[in-house]
């Protein structure tokens, strides 16, 4: 695995967990609000950790107070709620909440609280700060004490640019003024991204508030952050709610409350997450032991990003066109102005952006983990991608929301790709990423080399290993070493831009043609992500084919295991015997297992609730005997669960006529049925066979796409032009296309992966790797039995538009 999302979270070292668990096994930590011995140990340890945090930032308890929160977001919310705002309309100058537009969503979201307090919010662009000396107020107004708050990030989580820490004192002293208004300015420095790889010296730079999240630094624990509060502002913070542990005394029957004198205790409502706080001690120990300190981390991570940026920016097509467009506010010349973050989009030969979800999907085939989208920083995303406010609103109306995979609208990107390095990143990680870009965009003969060999020149003496190996990392070395990467210059092909939805005014017309379309194969998948069970005819229920994906395998925590995590599931063969009312499960080397089709309604069964792609389902456990069978087969603790008939999974689906319909689902990811076309399979087979240089059975390729219904249409991909179909007495509405993922790369006979399948599909489709269409039940066309049969004729109804709107939203889904 090549992990390049350290700005999302750091990875924790094994030694941290071992020391932490050893600590817990040797000590009893009680609730710190109690007075017994174990509780006193907890309290003392927490106070020691507070001291360790202050020491880490080179400050003391005389200057700053540590308030533990659930993360930097909660810390920001706390500031918004407790800052001594002066609202509008009280006959004196009112407060202003200002923030840099290159700020995290959690900073911008503070304006929701300030608006409720009748305080105006003012966004400030980075270039406006540099001109803010013009905003200095006249001398006669400089005695005004109205408090204002300015928030800015020490490091942009979008581009990695480091904003000057000198702004802190310049703004507090009045030398810089975000806006022209009389009053006293306080500064909140959002340090969550910055402190993960850079030292922050609070003796030199003294903001009033510093929110941080510890998982960004250590990787563990998660769900724990802190607000560092300058003790000069702390007495002025106003708090209305008081929770457990914050009161020196109060009365239940009278409006009387006295807060604790300690600032930390006054603002930490309830029992703090004390075991997680104790884990921080081991986090600091591990960080110091493994790295020697934040200054080393700063230079190490910058060296990696500088090297990667330098090589990446020189990559060009044979025509001289750049392969990537990098979004940066610096030239990566100094670790004091640039963090270890590179933000970019991949371009095709014509200079058009290839959607970020396409890049992410292909990267996953190479086991490279990147981050895509706008990274909870709409302001920076707008500035670098040249998106106006109207563009963002139009994209929202078009169905794009934060975190989804709609990456191109009207030919323009909605987001980008981000890679980021951490202290455990290596030059091999950087080289692997660069190999991936080259392997998927260039052949060796197409590559245009830079004028001189690019090597790491900025490495510090602290990183001896990288220094010794720097000569290996020239661009030529990388390109000449990509032969084993299944080189495919068309793997990242630019998707077609449109995503049209059929209009309400479209009038469907039945397809006419000389050769009838028929059903050639019917498959059901009784156990989600396991092998198919092929039938010639099968009953249809209100959730799809009877018993299709009625069971699934889960881990010890009840989370669904799919072929993405466990490819060997494809070697499990379930067989349904309707006469015997049993499901027989077979796997090589294992005794056959029999599972009754009738639900177990006994009192001994364990009812639980699970989620399948955000759909809530109620399930029950199939028992210890079956759990032991699957655990032995897969070599890990797992269980088989079944969907309960007492609870039906429902999902709102928007079909091709633009109408939202509530449908009943089994344990499928997205829709009741998945249909593919043999003509489409044959076109893909021709391309894959040419690339693999070996024969590929059509049946194997069909099985990779895990469809319920296979048809024999004449034209490849003509199924994407349909709005609805009827098969015999059954009528189906087309829900949308199936956007494929890495499961099609798994050989259903062996469980082995081959990334060529998804890359080839991406190459020939160039449209989000769509293959097949989702269907949902309509009312029956007649009173005939609800049976789907091989050989039945298929009657499609054409839709007006040429492209189907995918129903997928915030995550890649496939027919498990």
242-251 mean pLDDT: 93
Give 266: exposed, middle or buried? Use CB within 10 Å, 0-12, 13-18, 19+.
Answer: buried
pLDDT, the chain, mean: 85
High-pLDDT (> 70) share of the chain, %: 82
Measure the CA–CA gap between 775 and 736, rounded to whole angstroms.
Answer: 8
Is the CB of residue 327 less than 8 Å from the CB of residue 158? Answer: yes
188-193 mean pLDDT: 98
Is the CB of residue 368 less than 8 Å from the CB of residue 2? Answer: yes
Location of structure tokens 């003796």: 203
Measure the CA–CA gap between 550 and 568, rounded to whole angstroms.
Answer: 19
Whole-prediction pTM: 0.75
Neighbouring C-beta atoms of residue 41, cutoff 10 Å = 16
- Cross-strand bridge partners of residue 152: 189
* The pLDDT of residue 151 is above 70: yes
Burial 185-222 (b: 16+ CB within 10 A, else e): bbbbbbbbbbbbbbebebeebbbbbbbbbbbbbbbbbb
Measure the CA–CA gap between 360 and 378, rounded to whole angstroms.
Answer: 20
The pLDDT, as a whole number, for residue 271 is: 94
Measure the CA–CA gap between 797 and 687, rounded to whole angstroms.
Answer: 29
Measure the CA–CA gap between 316 and 307, rounded to whole angstroms.
Answer: 17
Q: How confident is the model at residue 317 (pLDDT cuts 50, 70, 90)?
A: very high
57-65 mean pLDDT: 96
The pLDDT, as a whole number, for residue 109 is: 97
237-245 mean pLDDT: 93
DSSP for 661-719 reads: EEEEE-S-SS-SEEEEEHHHHHHHHHHHHHHHTS---HHHHHHHTT-SEEE--SSTTGG
Give 350: exposed, middle or buried? Use CB within 10 Å, 0-12, 13-18, 19+.
Answer: exposed
Cα-based angle 433, 439, 442 (whole degrees, multiple of 5)? 125
The pLDDT, as a whole number, for residue 468 is: 39
Q: How confident is the model at residue 144 (pLDDT cuts 50, 70, 90)?
A: confident
Q: How confident is the model at residue 397 (pLDDT cuts 50, 70, 90)?
A: very high
Cα-based angle 146, 148, 151 (whole degrees, multiple of 5)? 170
Residues in the chain: 816
Q: What is the DSSP letter of 65?
A: E
CB contact set of 501 (below 8 Å; sequence gap of 6+): 654, 656, 658, 801, 805
Nearest to 743 by CA among 719, 771, 767: 771
* The pLDDT of residue 450 is above 50: no
The pLDDT, as a whole number, for residue 739 is: 86
* The pLDDT of residue 805 is above 50: no
Measure the CA–CA gap between 102 and 108, rounded to whole angstroms.
Answer: 10
170-199 mean pLDDT: 94
Q: How confident is the model at residue 777 (pLDDT cuts 50, 70, 90)?
A: confident
More confident residue, 88 or 711: 711
Burial 493-518 (b: 16+ CB within 10 A, else e): bbbeeebebbeeebebeebeeeeebb
Q: Encode pLDDT of 533-592 as tens digits.
A: 999 999 998 888 999 999 999 987 777 888 888 999 999 999 999 999 999 999 999 999
DSSP for 717-763 reads: TGGGGEEEEEETTEEEEEEEEEE--GGGGB-TTT--B-THHHHHHHH
DSSP for 577-625 reads: ETTTTEEEEE-TTS--EEEESS---STTS-EEEEEETTEEEEEEE--HH
Q: How far apart are the first and last CA of the chain?
A: 23
Q: How confident is the model at residue 132 (pLDDT cuts 50, 70, 90)?
A: low
Measure the CA–CA gap between 12 and 215, rounded to whole angstroms.
Answer: 9
Neighbouring C-beta atoms of residue 337, cutoff 10 Å = 17
Is the CB of residue 118 less than 8 Å from the CB of residue 87? Answer: yes
The catalytic site residues sit at 376
* The pLDDT of residue 422 is above 50: yes
Is the CB of residue 323 less than 8 Å from the CB of residue 437? Answer: yes
The pLDDT, as a whole number, for residue 506 is: 37
Number of helices (H), then strands (E), belonging to the chain: the values are: 21, 38
* The pLDDT of residue 215 is above 50: yes
* The pLDDT of residue 252 is above 80: yes
């Amino acid at each position: 695995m090549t992990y390049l999302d350290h700005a999302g979270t750091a990875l924790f070292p094994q030694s941290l967990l071992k020391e932490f668990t050893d600590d817990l096994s040797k000590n009893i930590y009680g609730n710190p609000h109690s007075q017994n011995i174990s509780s006193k140990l907890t309290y003392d340890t927490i106070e020691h950790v507070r001291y360790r945090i202050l020491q880490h930032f080179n400050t003391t308890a005389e200057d700053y107070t540590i308030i533990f929160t659930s993360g930097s977001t909660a810390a920001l919310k706390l500031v918004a709620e407790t800052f001594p705002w002066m609202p509008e309309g009280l006959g004196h100058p009112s407060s202003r909440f200002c923030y840099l537009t290159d700020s995290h969503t959690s900073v911008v979201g503070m304006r929701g609280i300030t608006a409720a307090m009748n305080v105006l919010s003012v966004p400030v662009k980075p270039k406006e700060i540099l001109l803010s000396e013009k905003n200095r107020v006249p001398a006669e107004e400089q005695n005004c004490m109205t408090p204002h708050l300015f928030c800015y990030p020490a490091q942009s989580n979008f581009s990695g640019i480091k904003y000057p820490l000198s702004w802190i004192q310049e703004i507090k002293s009045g030398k810089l003024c975000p806006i022209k208004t009389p009053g006293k300015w306080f500064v909140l420095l959002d340090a969550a991204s910055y402190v993960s790889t850079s030292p922050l010296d609070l003796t030199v730079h003294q903001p009033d508030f510093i929110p941080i999240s510890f998982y960004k630094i250590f990787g563990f624990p998660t769900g724990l952050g802190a607000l560092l509060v300058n003790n000069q502002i702390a007495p002025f913070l106003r708090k209305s709610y008081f929770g457990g542990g914050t009161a020196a005394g109060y009365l239940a029957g009278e409006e009387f409350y006295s807060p604790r004198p300690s600032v930390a205790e006054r603002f930490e409502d309830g029992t703090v997450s004390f075991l997680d706080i104790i884990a921080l001690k081991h986090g600091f120990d591990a960080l110091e032991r493994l790295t020697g300190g934040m200054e080393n981390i700063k230079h190490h991570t910058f060296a990696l990003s500088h090297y990667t940026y330098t090589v990446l920016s020189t990559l060009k097509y044979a025509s001289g066109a750049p392969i990537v467009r990098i979004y940066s506010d610096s030239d990566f010349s100094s670790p004091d102005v640039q963090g270890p973050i590179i933000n970019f989009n991949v371009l095709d030969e014509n200079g058009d952006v290839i959607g970020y979800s396409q890049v992410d999907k292909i990267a996953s085939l190479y086991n490279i983990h990147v981050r895509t989208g706008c990274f909870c920083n709409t302001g920076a995303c707008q500035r670098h991608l040249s998106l106006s406010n109207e563009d963002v609103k139009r994209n929202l109306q078009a169905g794009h929301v934060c975190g989804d995979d709609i990456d191109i609208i009207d030919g323009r990107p909605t987001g980008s790709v981000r890679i980021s390095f951490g202290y455990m990143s290596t030059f091999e990680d950087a080289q692997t990423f660069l190999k991936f870009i080259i392997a998927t965009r260039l052949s060796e003969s197409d590559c245009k080399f830079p004028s001189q060999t690019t090597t790491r020149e900025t490495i510090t003496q602290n990183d001896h290993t990288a220094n010794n190996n720097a000569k290996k990392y020239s661009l030529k070395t990388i390109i000449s070493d990509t032969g084993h990467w299944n080189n495919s210059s068309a793997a990242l092909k630019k998707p077609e831009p449109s995503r049209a939805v059929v209009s309400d005014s479209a009038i469907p017309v039945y397809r006419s043609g000389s050769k009838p379309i028929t059903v050639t194969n019917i498959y059901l998948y009784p156990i989600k992500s396991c092998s198919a069970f092929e039938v010639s005819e099968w009953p249809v229920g209100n959730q799809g084919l009877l018993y299709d994906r009625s069971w699934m395998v889960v881990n010890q925590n009840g989370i669904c295991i799919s072929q993405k995590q466990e490819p060997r599931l494809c070697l499990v063969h379930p067989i349904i015997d309707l006469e015997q009312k049993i499901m027989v499960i077979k796997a090589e080397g294992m005794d056959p297992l029999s599972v009754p089709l009738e639900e177990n309604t006994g009192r001994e069964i364990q009812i639980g609730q699970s989620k399948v792609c955000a759909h809530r389902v109620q399930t029950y456990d199939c028992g210890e005997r079956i759990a032991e069978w699957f655990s032995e087969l897969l070599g890990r603790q797992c269980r088989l669960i079944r969907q309960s008939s007492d609870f039906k999974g429902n999902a709102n689906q928007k079909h091709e006529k633009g109408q939202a319909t509530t449908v009943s689902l089994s344990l499928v990811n997205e829709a009741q049925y998945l249909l593919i076309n043999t003509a489409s399979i044959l076109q893909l087979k021709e391309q894959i066979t040419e690339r693999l240089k070996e024969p590929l059975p059509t049946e194997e390729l069909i099985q990779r796409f895990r469809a319920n219904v296979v048809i024999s249409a004449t034209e490849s991909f003509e199924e994407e032009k349909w709005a609805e179909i009827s098969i015999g007495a059954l009528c189906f509405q087309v829900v949308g296309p199936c956007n494929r993922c890495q499961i099609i790369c798994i050989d259903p006979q062996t469980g082995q992966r081959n990334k060529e399948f998804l890359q080839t599909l991406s190459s020939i489709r160039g449209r989000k790797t769509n293959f097949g269409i989702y269907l949902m039940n309509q009312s029956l066309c007649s009173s005939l039995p609800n049976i789907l049969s091989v050989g039945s004729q298929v009657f499609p109804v054409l839709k007006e538009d040429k492209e189907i709107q995918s129903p997928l939203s915030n995550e890649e889904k496939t027919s498990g």
